Chains A and B, each alone.
Chain A
């Protein structure tokens, strides 16, 4: 299912180098086949209150190198399960980037320093513009590579491959 093109929600701010261990640490590996239980610990080691406060549609707004570390796709998965509609970051680690898109979770690269914690954000996936409705700032985000956009538009890699049976490149 294609993501909505206009996303609205609140910004949850994080710094640089938020690793997959911040997002969902290895000590919870025993919960990886019980996703609802695992998802209760999303972002726990970066902000222990995040899981309780985040609402459907909200954004993770981070600095550089978001999602570095492990290949665990559970990191992207629990963020999506928390209702986060997109991740905005200055840059993102390679494996996490593929994982998020494969889960149908947009990752948008932009100058997140202009967004403050708690700001209301609007993202237009079609025009590529992020508007901070609280302070009026308008940011453009970098283009998602075409192959990944194709996957994102089908709602993730598994639906994409189920539909096309192959990579349409």
Chain B
């Protein structure tokens, strides 16, 4: 019997014939923390007897969740993280560099890598063919010290995607649809493995968006085979020598197989307060919104800003809606300025935030008021997520977000754009 992508990677790394259900110990190519999980990770690390970093060059700290710091306590946490980096020689990325998952895609993740981090959206790197998953601070502290961790080899759902998207319909709609079908716990402990003709045509930016949301169905990883699209991306990011072709075996064993026809998909929206509460945008047409947020590790990339700029060009946001845009990284911001997307968005009335997590998790930079509704391109809409349990969050694509910013209500981007 052949192997899935997860079985292949974990077999190679653990030096065993890893099959779904096995427990293996695998060395880790990169382990990282961000500013809200890092301090606990480091305190746990310091409690390990004889603990020292297994590999400073495979250990990274990203300041992205609370930058620039909104208060004294988080500033002190940032100091603590900087001091740790200085003491140990691990990598550190200062506020404004970008969201950890975007920077990992740009600089570190390669096909066949094992990447773990104290952040649930670590799955994002699966878009480049890495076995990448989130863990808590104790687990990451131990990886910092040992350079390895234990994994249960996941069973895999194969998601085959065929057909062409309609105009203004895209991968965010696809992944929201998928989560709606699977349910918020429908893939708990499983790997989602993507394949099919539509996948071959997806850009890395699109694959990262899909992989990013695998965890919203409970999955351990969301993983793509590597191909010439992967190869071109790695080359453009200066890591072309890290490319390797990685595909599942044709006779791999899948727990479940699903087929999605992209041409049948409509723009989708996840309604409050769970990500699997998904409906076609038309069911919500006319729902009033107070804020639109375009950004995050899900949809803060150049292609996402391009879609928003195309819809908002020479137009203005509706006077009753606030428009917030946060590019996912410094590289994205610079490219978006060079092409002119940022200028278009500012002219349309957007507030541009520094590269980082921004309003996503309710710390700062766009906290919602009581009874307000936000349409966001992020990956989570849990009650209280954006800092206020009395507010509502709808999740949608950058196209739906931009179209809705023009009207002040949830709007189908296929209409009037």
Contacts and interface: CB of A to CB of B under 8 A. Distances in A.
Given A33-B73, A94-B188, A157-B139, 5 more contacts: A26-B387, A72-B36, A102-B139, A162-B47, A167-B148
A95 B134 contact: yes
Contacts of A34: 73
Nearest to B367: A27
B37 A71 contact: yes
Contact of B150 (A68, A74, A167): A167
Q: What 4 A-B pairs have minimum CB-CB distances, sorted nearest first?
A: A73-B136, A26-B361, A99-B136, A65-B185
Given A72-B136, A147-B23, A26 B363 contact: yes
Interface of B: 23, 25, 36-37, 39-40, 44, 47-50, 65-66, 70-74, 76-77, 80, 117-120, 122, 134-139, 141-142, 145-146, 148-150, 152, 184-185, 188-189, 218, 220, 274, 361-363, 367, 380, 382-385, 387-389
Contact of B383 (A21, A31, A166): A21
B142 A161 contact: yes
Contact of A94 (B76, B122, B150, B220): B220
Nearest to B43: A33
30 contacts: A17-B274, A19-B380, A21-B380, A22-B383, A25-B362, A25-B384, A26-B385, A26-B387, A27-B388, A29-B36, A33-B39, A64-B185, A65-B218, A69-B382, A70-B361, A71-B117, A72-B37, A72-B136, A73-B37, A93-B218, A94-B189, A95-B136, A99-B137, A102-B139, A145-B23, A157-B139, A158-B47, A158-B138, A158-B141, A165-B50
B220 to A, nearest CB: 6
Contact of A73 (B40, B80, B274): B40
Contacts of A143: none
Contact of A21 (B74, B80, B189, B382): B382
A66 B387 CA distance: 21
A71 B185 contact: no
Contact of B138 (A26, A102, A147, A165): A102
* Max chain A Cβ within 10 angstroms of own Cβ: one of B40, B77, B382, B389: B382
Interface in A20-66: 21-22, 25-27, 29-34, 45, 64-65
B71 A30 contact: yes
A95 B40 CA distance: 16
A166 B39 CA distance: 23
Contacts of A72: 36-37, 136
Contacts of A93: 185, 188, 218
Contact of B73 (A21, A31, A169): A31
Contacts of A10: none
A92 to B, nearest CB: 8
A76 B44 CA distance: 14
A31 to B, nearest CB: 7
B257 to A, nearest CB: 22
A157 to B, nearest CB: 4
B188 A27 contact: no
Contacts of B218: 65, 68, 93-94
A46 B39 CA distance: 26
* Max chain A Cβ within 10 angstroms of own Cβ: one of B77, B185, B389: B185
A85 interface: no
A68 B362 CA distance: 17
A98 interface: yes
Interface of A: 17, 19, 21-22, 25-27, 29-34, 45, 64-65, 68-74, 76-77, 91, 93-95, 98-99, 102-103, 145-147, 156-158, 161-162, 165-167, 169
A91 B185 contact: yes
A34 B387 CA distance: 19
Nearest to A162: B49
A95 B384 contact: no
Nearest to B44: A158
A102 B122 CA distance: 19
A99 B363 CA distance: 23
A4 B50 CA distance: 29
A98 B152 CA distance: 11
B385 A32 contact: no
Contacts of A21: 362, 380, 382-385
B42 to A, nearest CB: 10
Nearest to B142: A161
* Max chain B Cβ within 10 angstroms of own Cβ: one of A64, A69, A162: A69
B65 A71 contact: no
* Max chain A Cβ within 10 angstroms of own Cβ: one of B37, B66, B122, B189: B37
Given A65-B218, A71-B119, A73-B138, A30 B189 contact: no
B384 A22 contact: yes
Given A94-B220, A147-B23, A30 B119 contact: no
A147 to B, nearest CB: 5
Contacts of A30: 66, 70-74, 77, 363
Contacts of B141: 158
A27 B362 contact: yes
A167 B44 CA distance: 17
B135 A95 contact: yes
Contacts of B274: 17
